[in-house]
Every structure is written in structure tokens, then in C-alpha cells.
Amino acid sequence: MNFLSLFVLVPLLMMLGLWVARNVNQVRGVMVAGASALLVLAVTLAVLYLRERAGGATAEMLFTASHVWYAPLNIHYAVGVDGISVVMLLLSAIIVFTGVFASWKMQMLTKEFFMWFCLLSVGVFGFFISVDLFTMFMFYEVALIPMYLLIGVWGSGRKEYSAMKLTLMLMGGSAFILMGILGIYYGAGATTMSLTELARIHIPVEWQRIFFPLTFIGFGVLGALFPFHTWSPDGHASAPTAVSMLHAGVLMKLGGYGCFRIAIYLMPEAAKEQAWIFLILTGIGVVYGAFSACVQKDLKYINAYSSVSHCSLVLFAILMMTQTSSTGAVLQMLSHGLMTALFFAIIGMIYGRTHTRDIREMSGLMQVMPFLSVCYVIAGLANLGLPGFSGFIAEMTIFVGSFEVNDVFHRTLTIIATTSIVITAVYILRLVGKVLYGTVGNPAHLQLTDATWDERLPLIVLIVAIAGLGLMPWGFSHIISDSVLPVISQLAR
Amino acid sequence: MVQMELYLIVSTIMMFVGIYGFFTRRNLLAILISVELILNSVDINFAVFNRFLFPGQLEGFFFSLFAIGISAAETAVAIAIIINIYRNIRNIQVKNMNELKG
Amino acid sequence: MDYSQVLLMRSELSLLAVIIILFVYDLVAGERGRRYMHPLACVLMLAHVLVNIVPQADTLELFGGMYRSVPMISLVKTILSVGTLVAVMQSGEWLRREDTRYKQGEFYTLTLFTLLGMFFMVSAGHFLMFVIGLELASIPMACLVAFDKYKHHSAEAGAKYILSAMFSSGLMMYGLSFVYGTTGTLYFDDVAAQLTGTPLQIMALVFFFAGLGFKISLVPFHLWTADVYEGAPTNVTAYLSVISKAAAAFTLLVVLVKVFGPMMAAWDTMLFWVIIASITVANLFAIRQTNIKRFFAFSSISQAGYLMLGAMGGTPGGMTSMVFYALVYMIANLAVFGVISAIEQRTDGKVSISDYDGLYRTNPRLTLVMTLALFSLGGIPPFAGFFSKFFIFMAAFGAGFKVLVFVALVNTIISLYYYLLIVKAMYINPNEHPVEAFKSDGWTRVSLLACTLGIVAVGIISGIYDGINAFAF
Amino acid sequence: MEHTIFLLALPFLSFLLVGLLGTCLKPKVAGLVGTLSIAAVAVLAYVTAFLYFTAGRGADGAFATLMPYNFTWLPLTETLKIEMGILLDPISVMMLVVISTVSLMVHIYSFGYMDGERGFQRYYAFLSLFTMSMLGLVVATNIFQMYVFWELVGVSSYLLIGFYYKKPEAIAASKKAFIVTRFADLGFLIGILIYGYYAGTFTFTPQAQVLAAAGTMMPLALGLMFVGGAGKSAMFPLHIWLPDAMEGPTPVSALIHAATMVVAGVYLVARMFPLFIGYGPEVLHLTAYVGAFTALFAAVVACVQTDIKRVLAFSTISQIGFMIVALGVCTSADPHAGGLGYMASMFHLFTHAMFKALLFLCAGAIIHAVHSNEMAAMGGLRKYMPVTHATFLIACLAIAGIPPFSGFFSKDEILAACFQFAPWMGVLMTFIAGLTAFYMFRLYYNIFWAKPYDAAQAGGHTPHEAPKSMTIPLVFLAAVTCVAGFIPFGHFVSSDGQAYDIHLSLPVALTSVVVALVAIGLATWMYKGAAQPVADRLATTFKGLHHAAYRRFYIDEVYQFITHKIIFRCISTPIAWFDRHVVDGFMNSLAWVTNAASVRIRGLQSGNIQTYTMVFLGGALLLVVILLLF
């Protein structure tokens, strides 16, 4: 048993632990223990990975293990990680860890909430450790379905509608993905489901032309590809805090990861042919999401549209297909994951106090909850790409990488995409100005209290992570760009 | 010697008379009778094919025999159920048999 | 011809033994003895399953080819027996009721006779055998559907079932008469050698297909399904929706491949349209249902459409996937109907979807079973349904039916939608008076536990699929 | 020079310490931590300057360019990488001195000015952050590092302008400042992207042949970079944020919006000067025109403003215009032949930083005393605030260009450079210099002379001299202003690195002094008395012009229109609507269609067994037809 499987086993054990837990404290105990274990595991993995690489390991995937699962169908339970998965696992572990604390005060059906939460984690971790198409797809879907109940039962607002919409749209996406996976499998001669092996097989270009768009759109739905992003605002707005965090923070990254790892890696010829279509869509998405965010009135909607913009940037960068832009895409996934989780955590905490997310009904929160407000400002600044935070390095890597493509079309799109950093500033500052600054508009808000320790902890962890990535990006950039290389060289074949 | 086609015409007519009856009768028993017509046309078909086309064997005849038996069994069960319906609602009109729908 | 050959029909014989024992026990046992009828039936069925748990490894051909058995067929019989065992286990509570207690013996014998009919049907090597098996499976089924004889719905459903069944078998036999007329034989192997695809044979194929399509309830031969499922006693519905369907589907596959193999292009086209129609129409109907049994009727029609994907192209992989799909579907659907039946018995016949509102608050475990079963039906990993759906899509895709797979996949979204409606009802919808907390009897609980284990494990443990695959032909 | 790392590390640590501990620290302690760290930085900066300039010139006659630190911060492509490091050359060392000096003065001054304010700790944390960023900006080893710190100074400016976060004006001003400069930075960023691609490096010294191959892209890149510089340095039409930025605490205005951050654009152009001269002289001249127009525009507006900080703000804009013009009129890298402007610009930057900081700090002291920014609330303050009065006057004389104060020397060099470039430019700039003298003395008289102070109007409050912590910086800066002009600046900084002797060009100097004196005289005549009949009459005669100038020529309204009407109403709102109703509506309509279809077809399941069998047979026959036909 490869130790990567622990990433899946730990959440499963957590579910078991929850099953036998008798009261809220035991539930919390299980969750904290498990989430910490995952965090430690992820850090250990990162360290081991770096050591292996430093020791000269050149294989594309490290720590690989493969067990035959469905022999007649060439399905294996195959795991392995490269730099991209390592950072994604790290991200997921951080978000799961912070998510646990963000839902510390969960009142209703605590145990069940965390059980579904753990199932979600199983899917997320499983997806990132898998290198077999089937296993990946399975974990992908495992990650999607708990969302329905998590939003539907524990959400707020139009939760049933949002939950259903989110689930169905994402499942629609996964139907496309399944189509794409089958296309890849049969197009490559129906001999293997392993990513690395498939990459060595040339899938006929006519097949690619059909199945590349299917796969890309399929993953794109989760990656907030315009115009398939509309689940995101409603879904995120209705979801409970920890779920928004995990969903926007990690799950949306599954989309970008899949686009990169499956769609482009395995079908490079079609990717090159059709990239322009999706580049236009993502280019629109980047600006469109940002503009939409400018006039939203609900804190979560603002962040959701902001996520649309940022996640579109991920796909945009992937489609630019240079090593630098792809590195930037992964950095952006990492960075957006952390930032948006931070945002959702804070919004959840504010909402828990004010019971409203309408920015017109709040003002001057800086006075009553300085800690949360300062965190919000930090998150906002990180979001608008301030140097010193992760957003900056990700965006800059993307822009520089995108600018490497020397033709008018790509250049124009790149410049259009860069404008998003200004629009981002507009909506972030508008929000900060309206909600946090000024005098307290609602007298009832004067009675509110600032964050408690269980709320401070996740925020601090996330901010440290964001700042750490933003201040010391070179290590991450190296890990990622080395791992991006196989895909890029695939494109050159 | 009567031509095989004539038998087939008869059986086909029986078949479609049965179908027509099934579609138009209002009474469950009448419908049952129509089904019997359908089944009997099948029997004729088998017998005729056997007799005219494959005179050396008995497969068709046997099939007819079994089919007759089966249709008898079916009719018996059907009548039992119809009687049950009659006991429940004192009526065996098809129009009263549409409580389950949608 | 040697009568010792009869002894080789292991599963049929053991089933017959069970039937006879139960029949005799029913005759001799008095009022008090009937109390042990249900345990006895369960134990005997279990014994039957255990006897047949290892599929017969050799190929049999008895009675001059009328009856034949290959390991796959033996395996299918075992699967059907297991399903029947579960269905029987779940029906204990219902049968102990005042109005059914005195005739529970009939239930067992009738049920098991239909099973026997299905055994003959799947083992048939000759159309006569096939027809007899089919009718043996249908006629007692009508009695079962009309089992609640003081309920008009039950009787109405029974009448609809038997009349539809007669019509469809009439049409089917009419088709078979053309097969006979054009080929001069009814032996599967000989027919296959003679088929040339003349218009008459195409008509025969369609009529034959319609007859089995009726049993599988494929659109447009499905209209009886919802009414009968709604009207029949829940346990019978469970049995009807899984065992009868699985047996018919498997038989259809075998006959299409073995007998109508030369006309593959024709039946692929036919299946193509029928599958699309089944999945789509059933999904559309299911969305608006308010009665949970009716709802699952449409769900089962849609599932039947997916099931038939495995027949596309008639590949061995397709057969494996189909059997696997049937197995998984059977487990999930039995779990669903187990829950429905348990609730119906405890609440005096609540079968409306809105009765399930807020069920989670009072009966979390039952809800969990239902949820897992629904997820499995909807094809959500890590539950078995995901695997079976994936494999069946894979098989159909591999056979070259990409568009069909795509349509089916798009439809999975709709099906997920209505499955989630039930989940939503149970978890989210508020309810002033939810079903009160209760504990079902041991047999039901064991059966539900078994189903849950099956839902969780059948996909993850690849051995089951591999085992089926080893026998595919 | 390894110690230079502390120039950045100390303020950063102080920021972290004060920022993280926040209110756990006593206000005084927080202030002390910040001030001491900046004092250390200042000492370090002087030591650095001393060591650097005494180390002697290299073989080529220029001071060596040192890079004590430079490491790869973020590798991008094979050739491009963002490095972080410290670059020491004459202008960066000069900037170190300027920034650390002004910053230290502001830190000290703020002890008095911000005394008792809520958020004292936050204030010092932000000041430290700003100082760190600004120092990082000037020592940047490559354009991208510059951009990084460029953004950081932007954000510290944002935070400090919005320091009084309960004041709606402050919030709006901070937002405006950030967004406008951010918009400009977009140009900067795109410029960097183009530069990076075509120069193959982000450093300031790309290979000449690579650049030559870039063709027209290099002027484009430089022009876009200037857009960024123009935003930061408040060049027309991106100047609108700076007057509003005065909502921040006055010491902040002195530090950020007068002395240091706003000259970052000038510094950027100076830093890229060799490239401008080499590959885009026409872009450089374009900057000169922009600078000249801005200088004129701002000077005119400054003449009619009544808020003293606004006057100073427009004065700052105007003076930065001077610096930009000085750079822009350069035609070669040789100070003796058309390259004088470079040195002049840097010199003016240096002197302006000192006297403008002084002006702002004085204004702070005044505001501290009268609790108002409006000239109307002042007048006759010279009796109450002698130190402030004296220092303010020195600064006014300096900015007006009266010898021997520092402004005279630097402005004179600029004018000389302008005359070298084109006579009309020289005339124009001389005229603006006169305007400067005029509005500065208008300000001076209105504050310290004019009507006697009316204590009753201010609620019985008598103004008094500021505390020591505030006056000491004033005196120090005034002293610097008095002597800075005699620094042989050309020996340290010049366009080709060679030592350059500043020699006054007599006609130019004379003209400018005369013009300044006339302007001062005019101002004295108009504004010295309690009643100002001339000024009032002028205001009524040229009502339209006066009003337009007072409203800053409606540029803000144009921006309002663009942001609110166009961006929010015409772009964002329709997009949001489109998203909800068209894109999302499409997805919802899919669901709606499915549902509607479901409702429609329900009737097919009629419950009638005969219908069922009809469908059954019909379906079968249809299949037969399909199979037979296809």
C-alpha cells in the first residue's frame, strides 16, 4: 500500500470515527485530529517530494503505485504525484483543516455534516493522487455529490434551488468528462487508462477534435468556464461556510487540473487547434466575472463572481500553453484557493453575526469586529494582486507567460485579461469601503463581537499561507514548472 | 387442396380482428375474448406453417398445443382477476379501470 | 435421452424442492404453523442460494437442446435467486398482516414459480421452452400483482398486467410463427443459421422484441409498468421491478446475440431508438410523480434503458456489463423497495413522496439506506451504481455507439435530478408530522443491511465484475 | 555595502512588529519602535551615501553601480525572472537619503500630530510599511522589482489616506487614489510585459542588439511605463487622485503625497533614462509636453483653491510637472549637450522633497492649531505660531525660486534645460514658475497675514504653537532647505555619470528671479490685507474661469461620469443582468423545458389499458417501419 493512499484512507477513517462519535466534542476531536493528520501528511509529502527531486528523481510521477482493479477494462487503482498534485494536495489539506475550524460552531446535525464533508475530502484528495483516468473520474464525482446535501441541508437562502442547480450543472459537466474519458480510452486503442501511458499514445486527431472540447468543457464547468459558470454564484452563496471554502478553494481547482492534466495533456493536437475558442471564452470570463462582481450586493456573490474571474484566468493561462503560463495557472489555482477560502471564511463569520450579507445593510464593521475586518482587507488586497501575497505572483506569472505567445490574437487577449486587475481593485475597494469602513449604520451591529479563537485560527493559517506563497514563491514556482514541462513538451510533439 | 395463403389470410384476419376487438371493446371479458382470437391466430399460423412448409416435423404442432395450454392458463387467471374486480366494484367496464394513471 | 439428465438441472431442481416443501408445509401447517412459514421460506431460499452459489462450470445441453446451461446462465440464476431471497425476506412483515396471513403460502409458491419460469426462460435453447418459461414467469405474476384482493388498485393492476401480458405474448408468438415459417425450426442454433433478414423476419424480430420489451418495460411497451407497480403490493413490485426485468433483459440479450445474431444491424438500430426513448420518456415522466412507487416505476423504465445499452453490439464486454448492471440495479432497487415497504407497513400505506418529507429526523438509518440506494441508482461513486453505469457506457461506447452513450449520459442528469428530489424530501423538506421512528423486523433489517453492503462493496470489490466477465460469451 | 539590506529589513520588521502586536503595544511604544527603526535607516542611508560617494569614481569617470544583493525571487521563463535585490547608483543613493530623511522627520512629527488618535499603532505600522516599500522601489535592481514595490507603495498610500476610515471622504479618496493609480499601473504592467518580451530581461541594462531588433515595440513599452509613472506622479489627466488624497493625515501627505511616492514616476523615467534616450526620445519629449501641461494646469488650479492642503497638492502636481519636463527635454545623455535636464530633475526632486515636506508639515501644524483646512478659518497666525511662520516662509521662498534657498538652484537648472530644448518651453516654464510664486504667497498671506485671527469664530479657541516634536522637524527641514541649494549636486548625479559643475546661467536665473519677485509682489498686493478687493474683483470678473479652476476644470466630474455612468451603469449592470437572465436564464430554461415537457406528456399515461396496447402495437409497427426503411 502506497502511502499516498493515506490521503484517502484518513478521511475514510474520520468518517468511521464520526460514526462512533457520541457528542459534539468527540466529533470535533475526530475532525481536528484527522484534518491535522492530513495537513501533516501533505507537508510530509511535499518534503519527501522535494527530497526525491533534489536526489535526482526524474520520473514524471513520483511515489507511484498501481494495483490492478478491473483487469478486463484495464482499470487500475494507480496513484502518483508530481509537483502540481503536491501543491494541490497541500492546498486541499490546508483548506480542509481550516474548514473544520470554520464550521466549529455547526449546530444542526453536526455529525452528518462532517461525514459528508469528509466524503468530499475523500474525493478531492483521491482526485489529486490518482493517475488513472477511471480512478480520477470516480474521485471527481465523489467530490461532487456531497455538495448537494451540504448545501441543501446546511445552506442558507435559496439553498434547495442552488444545491440542485450546482449539482446538476456539475454532473452535466461530468457527463461530458465521461464522454471524453471514453473517447480517450478507445481513441488510444483501449489498452490502458493510465495517464502517463496514454500520454505516450497518439490519439487520432479526428478523435481528439471531438473529445477534446467535450473533456475541456466538462472540466471547464467546474472550472467556471464562461458560460457554464452560473452554478457558482448561487451555489457559493447558499453553501455553508466550510463548504464554500472547500468548494471554491479546492473543488473548482479540480476543473483546471483536469483541463490541464487530461484534456490538454492527452489531446495536445486538438488542444492546439481549438484553443482559440476557449481562449475567447475564458478571456470573456475573466473580464465578465470581474465586471459582474462590481455591482453585486451580496458578499458571497461578489466573491463568487470574483472566483469566476480568477478561475477563468486559470483556464486562460492553461490555454496559452506555455510553460510559464501553465505554471502561473497552477500558482493561480493555489493562490485563488487560499484566498477565496479566506474570503468565504470571513464572510461566513460576518454573516454569522450580522445575519445579512447584503452590503447595503452593513457598514463600519471595522469598529465592531476589527480582527475580521482586517483579515477581510488583507484578503481583499491579496485578491487584487498585491505583491507580497500569492495573487500577485500567480497573475504575473500568467501574464508574462501569456505574453510569450507572439501573435496579435493572444496578445490582445492577454491585455484584456490584465485589465481584470483594475476591475478587481474596483470591486474589492468598493466592498471594503462600504462594509468595513465608515460609521456603523445599524445600531444593532454595535453589540456584535469580534472573532473567537476557533475563528481566528483558520484565518491566520490561511493568511500565513497566502503571505508565505507571496513572499517566497520561488520554491513553488520551481516544483510546478518542472512538473508542467511534460505537458508542454507533449504539446510540442 | 386449399392453398396455404388462404389459411394465412384467415389467421391474419383473426389476428387483426382480435386486435381491433381489444382496442374497442368496453367490457373486460370481451377484451379477453379478443386476446384469445389473437392467440388462436398464432396457433393457426404454427399449424399451417408446419403442415405446408415443413411437413416432416412436428415442432409447429407442438408449439400450437402448448400455446393453447398457455392461453387457457392465462385466461383462467385473467377471469379470476376480472371476477375479483367485479367483486370489488360490481362492474367490469374498462372505463372504470383507470384509477391508476399519470 | 436419459432421465438422469434431469438431475443436472441443479438450480431448477433445488428451487422446485423449495417450492414443494413450502407447498406441503402450507398444506399441513395450521394457523400456528404459518407463523414459521416466513422464516422457513427464507431459510430454504438461502439454502437454495447456497447450493447454487458456485456456478456450474460446465456447459449442459439437455432434452435435445431444448434446455441448455452455460456458466453465465447459471450465474444469472444465482443472482436472480439472491434477489428473490432478499425480496422474500422483505415481505415477511407484509405477509404477517391480518388480511394476507392466511394466504402467505400462496405468495411463496407463486413467487418461486415465477422464478422457476425465469430459470427456464434464460436456459431455453428452443423457442417453445422459452415461451413456456416466459408464461410461467408471467401468469403467477399476475396473481401476485392482484394479491391484495380486497384492494381495487391491486385488482386493477392485476387485470392490466394480465391483459397486457396476453397481448404481448400473443404478438410475440405471432412473430415467432414467422420465425418458424421462414426458417422451419425453433431451435435457437438452427434458427440462427437460417436467418437472412427478410422483411418477415424483421417483423418477427420486432414482435419478439416487443414481447420481451414488455417484460423489461422498454418504451413503447412500458405503459403498464407504472400502473402495475403502483397497484401491486410493494413487495411484489420490488420483485417485479428487479427479478423479472433482469431475467428478461438477460434473455433478450442472449436471444438477440445467439439467435438474431445475423440481423445485428437491424436490432442495433431498433435498440438504439428504443433505448433513447426509454431513458428520455421515463425520465420525463418520473419528474412529476407524486407516488413513490410510481416514481420508481419510471425510474425502473429508465434503468431498463441503461441496462439495454449492454446489448448494443452484442459484445462479451457488453454482456458482462449488463449482468453487472442488473446485479447492481437489483441490489439498489431492492433496498429502495425494502425501505418503501417498511414505511408502508408501519404507516398504514403511506406511499406518497411527500410522506417522506423530513424522514431523516425520525429514521436516519432508513434514510441513509434509501439515500445510498438512490445514489447508486443515480450513478454516484463510490457506490456500485457508478461502476455499473460506467462499465455499461464503456461497453456501448466500445461497440461504437457514441451518440447513444452521449444521449444516455445527458439523461443521467435528469435522472439524478429526480433521485435528488427524493433525497431532498427526506433531508431538507420540512414536515410537521414526519413518519414516526420505528424499527422494522429483523428480516427486513438484515436484508437492508445486505443491500447496503452490496451497494457499497459491489463496485469497489472488483472480483464480482471479474467473475461475471470470466463467464461472458 | 552589505549593510544595505537593513534599509529594507528594519522598516519591514518594525511593520510586522507594530502591525501584528497592534493594540497590544502602548501607542508611544509603537511610535518609538517605528521612529527608532527609521532613525536607524536614516543613519544607514547617510552612511551608505557617504561610503558610496567617497568610494570614488570608476575608470569611466562614473560612480560604480553596485548590487550588493540580487537573488531570483520568482523564475518565470528561461530568460525572464523577477529578481529582488539592492541596486546602488547615484540616483538610488540620493533617493535613499531623501526618503529616509523625510520619513524620519515625519515619524518624529507624527508623535505630536497624531497624539491621542485612535489607531496610533496602525498609523506607525503603515508608515513603516510605506518606508520599506519606497526604499525597495528606489533600490530595485530590475523593472519588475520596481513594479512590486510600486504596488506596495500604492497600497500603503491607500491605507494611509484611508486612515480615518470613518470619514466618508477619506474612504472615497483612498479608493480613488488606489484605483486611479492602479489603472495607470496597468499601463506600466503591459509596458513591462512588452519590455520583458522584447528586451529578454527585466533588468535596466538589456543588450543593445536585442533592443535594436525590437523596433517600435521599445518606444511603446517605454510609453506605457510612463503611463504608470504618470499615474503615480499625478500627471494630467491621471492627477485627480492626488488632491483628494489630502484626506489622509497631514504628515502622510507630506511624506507620501509630496516628497516621496509621487515622485516615483519621475524616478522611473530617470531610471529608464538611458533607454528613453536611446530608443524612444520622441516618447521622452512627449512626457515633457505632458509634464508642462500638467504643471500649468495645476498651477492655475492652485491659484484659486481655498483648502490649504489642496493648494499644496496642486503645487506638488505642478512641481512634479517641472521634474518631468526637465527629464523630457533631454535630447542626449551628455549634460553639456542637451542632457542637463536629468540632473536638474533629480536636483529638483531632492530639493522639492525637502521644502514640500516642510510646507506640508507646516500646514499640519496650522491645521493642528486651528482645526480646519480652509483659508477662511485662518489669517493672522504669524503671531501665534512664530516657528511655523518662519519655516513656512522659508519653504515658500524656496518654492518660489528666490535665492539662496534650494528651490532657486534646482528650478534654475530646469529652466535652463528648457530653454536649451526650445525657447517657448523655457518661457512657459518660467511663467509657471511665476504662477508658483504667486499662489504660494497667496497661501502664505492668507494663512499668516490677511485678517486677524478671529478666536470667537473658532469657538473661543486660541491657536498656539505646535509642540516640540512637531517644530523640530520643521526647523530641520527649513535648515536643509536653506543649504541644499549649495550642494554640488551635479558631482553626484548627472546624466552620464560624469561630474558636472552646476553653473548658473545668468539670463535665465535673472529672469526667473525677477518673475518670481513680481509674482510675489502681486500676491502681496492682492492678499496681504484683511480685505482683498483685487482678488474678489478678479474672481467676479472672470467668474466662469474662476469657478472652473476652483472646480478643477471638471476633470473629477468626467471621471465620475466614466466610473459611475459608464463602468457601473453601462457595463457592469448590463453584464450582471445578462449573467442572471441570459446565461443563467438559459440554464434555467433547460430545466424549465424539461419540466414543461414532463407536464405535457403526462396525459399519455391515461390509465386505459386499450390506449396502452395501442401504443404498444403502434410502437412495434413503427419499429418495423424504421427497420424496413432504413
Count of domains forming chain B? 1
pLDDT of residue C211: 92
Domain count, chain C: 1
With an 8 Å Cβ cutoff, are C203 and D594 in contact?
Answer: no
Residue B94 contacts C, CB cutoff 8 Å: no
- Percent of chain C, pLDDT > 70? 100
Residues D300-315, mean pLDDT to the nearest whole number: 86
Statement: residue A64 has pLDDT above 90: no
Give the contacts of A143 (CB within 8 A, at least 6 positions apart): A120, A122, A123, A124, A126, A127, A251, A254
Ranges of residues in chain B whose predicted pLDDT is under 50? none
| Span C388-401, average pLDDT | 92
DSSP 8-state secondary structure symbol assigned to residue A358: B
State the pLDDT at residue A1. Answer: 58
As a whole number of angstroms, the distance between CA C13 and CA C257 comes to 28
pLDDT higher than threshold 70 for residue C1: no
| Structural domain boundaries, residue C141 | 3-469
Q: C152 touching B, CB under 8 A? A: yes
What mean pLDDT, rounded, does chain C reach? 90
Highest mean predicted confidence (pLDDT) among C52-56, C374-378, D203-207: C374-378
pLDDT confidence tier of residue A155, bands split at 50, 70 and 90: confident
d(CA D344, CA D494): 8
Nearest to B94 among D602, D610, D617 (CB): D610
Total count of domains within chain A = 1
Contact A429 D175 (CB under 8 A): yes
Question: What average pLDDT does chain D have?
Answer: 85
Mean per-residue pLDDT for A140-146? Answer: 88
Q: Is pLDDT at D429 greater than 80 in this prediction? A: yes
Range scoring the smallest mean pLDDT among A228-237, A458-467, C34-43, D442-451: D442-451
Question: Could D77 and A168 be called an inter-chain contact, meaning their C-beta atoms sit closer than 8 Å?
Answer: no
Q: C32 in helix, strand or coil?
A: coil
So what's the pLDDT on residue D329?
87
Q: Select the more confidently predicted residue: D528 or C107.
A: C107
Q: What is the pLDDT of residue D606?
A: 83
CB pair distance less than 8 Å for B85 and C165: no
Burial class (CB in 10 A: 0-12, 13-18, 19+), C442: exposed
Residue A183's pLDDT band (boundaries 50, 70, 90)?
Answer: very high
* pLDDT at residue D78, as a whole number: 83
Largest interatomic CA distance in chain A: 69
The DSSP 8-state label assigned to residue D85 in this structure reads E
**Chains adjacent to C (≥3 CB pairs closer than 8 angstroms):** A, B, D
Residue A337 pLDDT: 92
In a domain, B102, yes or no: no
Query: Which of A145, A221, A238 is the mutation pick for testing C, counting most C CBs within 10 A?
Result: A145
Provide the pLDDT confidence category of residue D4 given band limits of 50, 70 and 90: confident
D positions 577-596 inside 8 Å of A (CB): 579, 583-584, 586-588, 591
pLDDT of residue C251: 93
Which residues of chain C make contact with B63, given a CB cutoff of 8 A?
127-128, 131, 176, 180, 186
List pLDDT tens digits, range C263-303.
888 899 999 999 999 999 999 999 888 899 999 999 999 99
Pick among C284, C302, C413 to test the D interface (most D CBs inside 10 A): C284
pLDDT band for C358, please (50, 70, 90 cuts). confident
Q: Extract the C-alpha cell encoding D495.
A: 546624466
Q: Between the ranges A367-376, C98-107, C367-376, D75-84, where is the mean pLDDT highest?
A: C367-376
CB contact under 8 A, B22 and D607: no
Q: Which residues of D touch A396 (CB under 8 A)?
A: 74, 76, 82, 144
Is residue A360 pLDDT above 80, yes or no? Answer: yes
What ipTM does the predicted assembly reach? Answer: 0.90
Inter-chain CB proximity B97 and C184 less than 8 Å: no
In the prediction, which pLDDT does C82 show? Answer: 93
Nearest CB to D627 within list C163, C167, C202: C202
Q: Which residue among C128, C174, C230 places its CB closest to the CB of B45?
A: C174
Whether omega before A227 lies within 30 degrees of 0, making that bond cis, reads yes
Residue in B closest to C131 by C-alpha = B67
C330-347 pLDDT, tens digit per residue, is 999 999 999 999 998 888
Termini Cα distance of chain A: 35
| Higher pLDDT pick, D365 / D533 | D365
* Spatial distance between the Cα atoms of C260 and D521, rounded to a whole number of angstroms: 114
Q: Which residues pair with D74 in a beta bridge?
A: D82
Within a domain: B96: no
Task: Name the amino acid, one letter, at C237.
Answer: T
DSSP class of residue C126 equals B
In chain D, whose CA is at the least distance from the CA of B22? D610
Query: In this structure, is residue B99 part of a structural domain?
Result: no
Residue B98 lies in a domain: no
Give the residue from B23, B34, B37, B96 with the most D CB atoms within 10 Å of its CB, the best one to mutate. B23
In chain A, residues with a C-beta closer than 8 Å to the C-beta of D575 are: 288, 291-292
Chains in contact with A via at least 3 Cβ–Cβ pairs below 8 Å: C, D
Range of the domain at B86: 4-90
CB contact under 8 A, C152 and B18: no
* D533 has a pLDDT exceeding 80: no
Find the closest chain C residue to A165 by CA distance: C417
Within an 8 Å CB–CB cutoff, is residue D605 touching chain B?
A: yes
Q: What is the pLDDT of residue A23?
A: 85
Q: Which domain holds residue A459?
A: 3-491
Question: Which residue out of B20, B22, B32 would a mutagenesis test of the D interface target, given it has the greatest number of D Cβ atoms within 10 Å?
Answer: B22
CA distance A163 to chain C (A): 10
Residue B2 to chain C, least CA–CA distance (Å): 18
Task: Check A139 against C386: CB less than 8 A apart.
Answer: no
pLDDT at D455 over 90: no
A447 — pLDDT class (breaks 50, 70, 90): confident
Does A touch B (3+ CB pairs < 8 Å)? Answer: no
pLDDT tens for each residue of D544-568: 777 777 777 777 777 777 777 777 7
Given this model, what pLDDT does residue C405 score? 93
What integer is the mean pLDDT of D528-536?
A: 75
Tens of pLDDT along D493-516? 877 777 777 777 788 888 888 888
Rounded CA gap, B79 and A266, in Å?
Answer: 64
Exposure string (b/e) for A294-305, b if CB count within 10 Å is 16 or more? bbbebbbbbbbb
Instruction: Please choose, from the candidates D398, D287, D274, the residue with its C-alpha nearest in 3D space to the C-alpha of residue D347.
Output: D398
For D398-412, the pLDDT digits (tens) are 888 888 888 888 888
Residue C273: list chain D partners with CB under 8 A.
Answer: 623, 626
Q: Mark yes or no for CB contact B97/D605 under 8 Å.
A: no
Of the candidates C320, C378, D585, which has an alpha carbon nearest to the alpha carbon of residue A174? C378
Residues A30-51 pLDDT 10s? 888 888 889 998 898 888 888 8
Name the residue in chain C with its Cα closest to that of B76.
Answer: C139
Residue D459 has pLDDT above 70, yes or no: no
pLDDT tens digits for range C452-463: 999 999 988 888
Whose grid coordinates read 510599511?
A: D129
* Rg of chain D taking only CA atoms, in angstroms: 30
Residues 147-166 of D with CB under 8 A from A: 147-149, 151-152, 155, 158, 162, 165-166
pLDDT for res D458? 60
Q: Which of residues 269-288 of C touch B (CB under 8 A)?
A: 288
Touching B (3+ Cβ pairs <8 A), the chains are C, D
pLDDT digits (tens, 9 = 90+) for C195-220: 888 889 999 999 999 999 999 999 88
Q: Does residue C39 sit in helix, strand or coil?
A: helix
Q: How far away is chain C from the Cα of D592, in angstroms, using its nearest Cα?
A: 12
- CB contacts of A134 in chain C (<8 Å) are 390
**Residues A360, A297 contacting (CB under 8 angstroms):** yes
pLDDT of amino acid A145: 85
Three-state secondary structure call for residue D87: strand
Residue B77: per-residue pLDDT: 92
List pLDDT tens digits, range D559-609.
777 777 777 778 888 888 888 888 888 888 888 888 888 888 877 788 888
Cβ proximity of D83 and D70 under 8 Å: yes
Beta bridge partners of C61: C68
Put simply, the answer to whether D76 touches A415 (Cβ < 8 Å) is no
> Least CB-CB distance to D610: which of B23, B99, B102?
B23
C222-253: pLDDT as tens digits:
999 999 999 999 999 999 999 999 999 999 99
Residue C131 confidence (pLDDT): 93
Share of chain D above pLDDT 90, in %: 4
Helix, strand, coil percentages for chain C (3-state, nearest 5): 80, 0, 20
Helix intervals (H) in A321-440:
323-354, 365-368, 370-383, 390-403, 408-431
- What residue in B sits closest to C136 (Cα-Cα)? B70
- For residue A474, CA distances in Å to A182, A468, A487, D71, D452 come to 38, 11, 21, 10, 63
- Select the more confidently predicted residue: D281 or D453: D281
Q: If you average pLDDT over residues A272-277, what whole number do you get? A: 90
Classify residue B70: in a domain, yes or no.
yes
Determine the Cα–Cα distance for residues C187 and C130; give it in Å rounded to an integer.
10
pLDDT in tens, A78-91: 999 988 999 999 99
Query: Please, which residues 117-136 of chain C have a Cβ atom closer than 8 Å to chain B?
Result: 127-128, 131-132, 135
CATH of the domain at B63: 1.10.287.3510
Residue B101 lies in a domain: no
CA gap A105, A28 in Å, rounded: 10
Residues C119-137: what's their mean pLDDT?
A: 92
